[in-house]
Amino acid sequence: MKITLLSIGALIFICTACSKTPESVEVSEYTKSFIHNVSLKFDEIDKQEATRGLIAEAKSLTINDNKGKVVWDMSAYSFLQKEKPQTAHPLLWEMAQLNATPGLYQVVHGIYQIRGFDIANMTIIEGKTGWIVVDTLTTKETAMAAFDFFKKNVKKKPIVAIIFTHSHIDHFGGVLGIVTENDVKNKKITVIAPKGFMEEAFSENILLANAMARRAEYQFGQDLPISPTGQIDSGIGKTAAQGSYSIVEPTVTVDTTPTKMIIDGVEFIFQYTPDTEAPAEMTFYLSAYKAFCPAEIVSRTMHNLYTLRGTKIRDAYKWSKYINESLQLFPDVEVCFFTHNWPMYGNNRIREFFMKQADMYKFIHDQTIRLANKGFTPDEIAHKLTLPQSLSLFIPNRQFYGVLQQNVKAVYQMYMGWYNGNPAYLNQLPDGERAKRYVEYMGGVKSILEKAGKSYTNGDYQWVAEVLNHVVMAQPDNQEARKLLAKTYTQLAYQAKSGVWRNVYLKAAQELSTGMQKKKSVMFKGYDMLKHMPPEKLFDSMAVNLNPEKAEHSTISIAIHFSDKNASYMLYIRNSVLYYSKGITGKKEADLHIPYTTFIKLITGSIDKTKILFDKDVQWNGSNVALIKFFSMFEKQERFAIVTPR
């Protein structure tokens, strides 16, 4: 049985059904020709930098949770050491190889990195009395394993500070695997993060946890076989780690540039870079080492202005601006160590890299707007715009993670929204209904399948995918259409340079071939993170799960008293909308006295709501019928279909 994580955030859905492997798809002649004609390769210096400073390799790395379940398995990627297959883009294969060397590395004397224990890196800087840990990976299990491996191979000293570079969970979720909350509360450990860190850490996966979790399956290729025909990489690392999540509140926040700080005898100069790769983000420079940590404002790949799992649009203009600011602030930089992938060395090399990444994001921003002002739609711009060769041939600008087409659409959406100006798209029919009519207009399923088969043979895969999507949406049980569409997505996957796009195509093919896995059990795994969430955020997540039909004609008001927070709130429903206010005022049907920690478990499904009134730590006054009715109005989030009708 393989535990499969379906969310990188608050409510964690676990599917314990075994992965299903779809029928293998032969590489088409068209794809073979495409792969054969890729000539660009990584520079030898990239390969040297990827292994530079290796102290100890973590061979056959497998990490288990406390129940013996595998949460991270690098041993599964051993096939990457073989020759390039025809089932993967050659450059993506090379990137996957360079991301498959887990171990402990010395960046320079006094700066270490643990790489390959998670999708992100853990950086450890030696202070006067202890270790300063930068980014604590995704889960407690992977963070603990990484730091234990570090201590085993270097020396045991206490952790004196934690730095969170930004508000994405793969950079903070493992914190309680290496420190305790008491150490932070008692000020034994300083925790430094950018302004807005806690708010943004909670916001990304709270309101849309279910939708983002489902789409994250596609982005990271969860449940795909790890093989030359399956999942090989995401471009910035292997995949999203499984396990348990946590968070601690920062004791120091950074909100200005530059912010100088002495941490355990080491001078840090922080650059505050909000609204770039994350809404709350910062970089830092270590002047004693001439070493720069850019968080993710620069990466060894084009990054995402919009992520396929679904996030807020990122600002390409600000992104470019902050990269240029870094160059001005730290002109003598000699080492750049990343929070994903591997470091870069040499002032000239790093400066060229920064300039070309800044220029890339600015080019995407400016040229998308130029073409929008000429009346082109986002789809048209995405197919029309290409990077100049001075940017496109530069290896760190290659599209291993982010992709130009999706980033162009992100810029358009940020300024212009979803509407492309053509009224034909103003009130489109839903997918299923539109598909049925397309199929009818195109002469029926038999005619479409005949034409699609010919187009597939000719390598016109994108068109085949679009046409057959209509057939599957109109007739989801048509196995011939599903099989051909799955084969089409597989060919697109084999050609994809982006690890994310490859994962998405292969996940779609898998579900067309074997069906969507049924959720077998629901487990709450993010408790150590959610207990830090303000009650208001939790109430907001409840509001978007209120079923309006069940709530119609109801005007229930409930007083909630959190015994462990010494705080009280009124929750009330009006016109099928949930509101809350701090303090108790007005009429109420019932009072519920409950620990906040228990309330979290109640609304995330870890405790049966029909039994909550009998919990020894819970007291209530008033109508128990009103209480039960109130909580019964909220829906349980479940998985949904993506490549077949919902």
Model pLDDT for residues 57-78, shown as the tens digit of each residue = 998 999 999 999 999 999 999 9
Query: Concatenated DSSP letters for 443-493?
Result: T-HHHHHHHHHHHHHTT-HHHHHHHHHHHHHH-TT-HHHHHHHHHHHHHHH
- Kindly report, residue by residue over 548-599, the tens digit of the pLDDT: 999 998 899 999 999 888 899 999 999 999 999 999 888 899 999 999 988 9
With a pLDDT cut of 70, the percent of the chain lying above it is 95
At residue 20, the pLDDT reads 53
At residue 2, the pLDDT reads 27
Asked if residue 507 has pLDDT above 60, the reply is yes
Q: What angle do CA 163, 249, 524 make, to 5 degrees?
A: 110
Give the side-chain half-sphere CA count within 13 A for 463: 12
Looking at residues 180-187, what average pLDDT do you find?
A: 93
At residue 449, the pLDDT reads 97
Asked if residue 232 has pLDDT above 90, the reply is yes
How far apart, in whole angstroms, are the C-alpha atoms of residue 277 and residue 316? 9
Q: What is the pTM of this model?
A: 0.90
Token duo for residue 256? 């200005």
Q: What angle do CA 74, 61, 69 make, to 5 degrees?
A: 85
Asked if residue 19 has pLDDT above 70, the reply is no
Asked if residue 459 has pLDDT above 50, the reply is yes
Tell me the CA distances in angstroms from 170 to 8, 122, 220, 573, one per residue in order.
Answer: 8, 10, 13, 36
* Average pLDDT taken over every residue of the chain: 91
Question: To 10 degrees, what angle do helices 90-98 and 499-514 make?
Answer: 100
Domains, the chain, ordered by start: 4-19+52-353 (3.60.15.30), 428-514 (1.25.40.880), 535-632 (3.30.1050.10)
Looking at residues 161-165, what average pLDDT do you find?
A: 98
Asked if residue 16 has pLDDT above 60, the reply is no
Token duo for residue 228? 């030359």
CA dihedral for 581, 582, 584, 589, sign (positive or negative): positive
Q: Do the Cβ atoms of 572 and 558 come closer than 8 Å?
A: yes
Asked if residue 8 has pLDDT above 50, the reply is no
346-360, 538-552, 594-608 — which is least confidently predicted? 594-608
143-157, 445-459, 460-474, 595-609 — which is least confidently predicted? 595-609
Three-state helix/strand/coil letters over 323-385: HHHHHHHCCCCCEECCCCCCCEECHHHHHHHHHHHHHHHHHHHHHHHHHHCCCCCHHHHHHHC
At residue 603, the pLDDT reads 81
Q: Which of 379, 378, 401 is nearest to 307 (CA)?
A: 401
| Residue 418: partners with Cβ closer than 8 Å, 6 or more residues away | none
- Kindly report, residue by residue over 285-325, the tens digit of the pLDDT: 999 999 999 999 999 999 999 999 998 999 999 999 999 99
How far apart, in whole angstroms, are the C-alpha atoms of residue 113 and residue 163? 14
Looking at residues 606-623, what average pLDDT do you find?
A: 80
Looking at residues 276-285, what average pLDDT do you find?
A: 97
Asked if residue 254 has pLDDT above 90, the reply is yes
Q: Calculate the CA 437 to chain-centre distance.
A: 36
Q: Which of 209, 290, 108, 65 is nearest to 533 (CA)?
A: 209
Strand order in the sheet with 577-582: 577-582, 567-574, 557-562, 590-594, 619-622
Token duo for residue 494? 């084999």
Asked if residue 15 has pLDDT above 80, the reply is no
